[in-house]
Structure formats: C-alpha cells, structure tokens
Chain A
Amino acid sequence: KQEVTQIPAALSVPEGENLVLNCSFTDSAIYNLQWFRQDPGKGLTSLLLIQSSQREQTSGRLNASLDKSSGRSTLYIAASQPGDSATYLCAVRTSGTYKYIFGTGTRLKVLA
C-alpha cells in the first residue's frame, strides 16, 4: 500500500530564501508524481508533473526532482516571495492504478 509523507510539516522563512520541500513514498513503482499548492479553503493548483521516466521538471522559480530508487521527490523554490505562502502537496500515482495518494502537505509561510 502506497504511503506518502512530506517534511517539514510547516516552514516559515524570510522573503528571498531558497527552499526545499520533501516528499517520500514507500512504493517506488510509480506512474507519475504531481506537486500542488493549495491556499486556505481553496482548490488545488497544479505546479509540476513528473512522469516516472523523468528526473526533474522546471517551471519558473520551481524545480521538482524525482528519485524513484530512494522513494523521494523534492520541490525547490528559488527566491521565495510572500505570494508563495500556501500549503504544498505532493500526490503519487502508483503504476497499474488510477488513484493518487496525497502527502500530508507542507504549510509554507514566507515573511516580507
């Protein structure tokens, strides 16, 4: 059974810092992994999707890497801004399934 955990659970940093958020999964036979951000009481916004065959994906100040053998993905946020404050969630789809298991999220606060 796939289990997904994220550390840290919460993070508070000054504006301008570079950040690394971690996502770990127990079953390395994944189809893909997706990172989302969620603002309080709102829906989920897709940030990056990494297919099983890929090692990393980049979009603007965001970079996500995938290491299947170690069961880990990291989301790197460069030059953080107060507008980046949100909860960041990773979701893993195991091969042979049509379901995503979400991590517990990292609640990020970027201070101006």
Chain B
Amino acid sequence: AAGVIQSPRHLIKEKRETATLKCYPIPRHDTVYWYQQGPGQDPQFLISFYEKMQSDKGSIPDRFSAQQFSDYHSELNMSSLELGDSALYFCASSLVGEQFFGPGTRLTVL
C-alpha cells in the first residue's frame, strides 16, 4: 500500500539559510498535517491543510510557511534557520480521521 513520502530524508543547513521540505500524501487523502519533533519531545503540530486550503495552525514560527499544491503535495518552507530548528519534521495525511505519518525529514542546523 502507498505510504506518505517525505523528501529529503536528511538535510543539513547553516544558520540563516533556507530549507524546503516536501510531502507527498497517500493518494486520495484530503488532509495534510505538519509536525516538528525535537529530541526527546512529543510531536508539535505546526499547520494543516484540508483540500488544499489551510485548515488550522499551531505553534509555527513566522519564519516558516507552507502550502499545498493542486496535486495535493505539500511543502514546508523554513527561512532564517536557527540552531533550535534542528528537529525531525513529520508530515501526515488522512482521509476521514486516521493519520498516517511519513518517515520524517531530519533537519540539522549548524
């Protein structure tokens, strides 16, 4: 069965650089969620999209933005990166409730 695809799997950036994370949801899923998980922490909700429209927003910094495209894939853009942005970033998709998570992108900011 198709799963959620995230790319890249690993990313290393310098402070103040920009990063773009991509998420390809399971086909026919109508909702996409983005989460940030710091070391030893639980996942923190960032933002969600339902049918390509932003549906909810969590503790997402103003330096971050996201969108969902016509083919339903989503991108999380992160600018002016800080050391504290180093984390695992997960994307999840759902149809009628149950979330399925991708493998995550590990972002390291040096």
Near B by CB (< 8 A), chain A positions 75-112 give 89, 91, 93, 97-105
- Asked if B101 contacts A99 (CB within 8 A), the reply is no
Measured in the bound complex, the distance between the Cα atoms of B65 and A9 in whole Å is: 33
- Asked if B99 contacts A46 (CB within 8 A), the reply is yes
**Shortest distance from the beta carbon of A90 to any chain B beta carbon, whole Å:** 10
- Asked if B97 contacts A32 (CB within 8 A), the reply is yes
A98 CB contact (under 8 Å) in B43, B55, B88: B55
**Shortest distance from the beta carbon of B101 to any chain A beta carbon, whole Å:** 4
Q: A residues within 8 A CB of B104?
A: 42-43
Judged by a CB distance under 8 angstroms, whether B42 is at the interface is yes
Asked, given contacts A89-B42, A98-B31, whether A51 binds B55 with beta carbons under 8 Å apart, the answer is no
Asked, given contacts A98-B48, A98-B55, whether A34 binds B98 with beta carbons under 8 Å apart, the answer is yes
- Asked if B58 contacts A43 (CB within 8 A), the reply is no
Asked, given contacts A44-B90, A97-B56, A100-B33, whether A49 binds B43 with beta carbons under 8 Å apart, the answer is no
- Asked if A46 contacts B31 (CB within 8 A), the reply is no
Q: A residues within 8 A CB of B42?
A: 89, 102-105
Near A by CB (< 8 A), chain B positions 68-82 give none
Q: A residues within 8 A CB of B103?
A: 42-43
Asked, given contacts A43-B103, A44-B43, A105-B42, whether A99 binds B58 with beta carbons under 8 Å apart, the answer is yes
- Asked if B99 contacts A91 (CB within 8 A), the reply is yes
- Asked if B90 contacts A43 (CB within 8 A), the reply is yes
Q: A residues within 8 A CB of B92?
A: 44
Near B by CB (< 8 A), chain A positions 28-68 give 31-32, 34, 36, 41-46, 49, 51
**Shortest distance from the beta carbon of B108 to any chain A beta carbon, whole Å:** 13
- Asked if B102 contacts A43 (CB within 8 A), the reply is yes
Measured in the bound complex, the distance between the Cα atoms of B59 and A22 in whole Å is: 25
Q: A residues within 8 A CB of B48?
A: 98-99
- Asked if A46 contacts B43 (CB within 8 A), the reply is no
B58, B92, B100: most-surrounded residue (chain A CB, <10 A) = B92
Measured in the bound complex, the distance between the Cα atoms of B68 and A57 in whole Å is: 32
What is the interface of chain A, defined by CB distance below 8 A to chain B?
31-32, 34, 36, 41-46, 49, 51, 89, 91, 93, 97-105
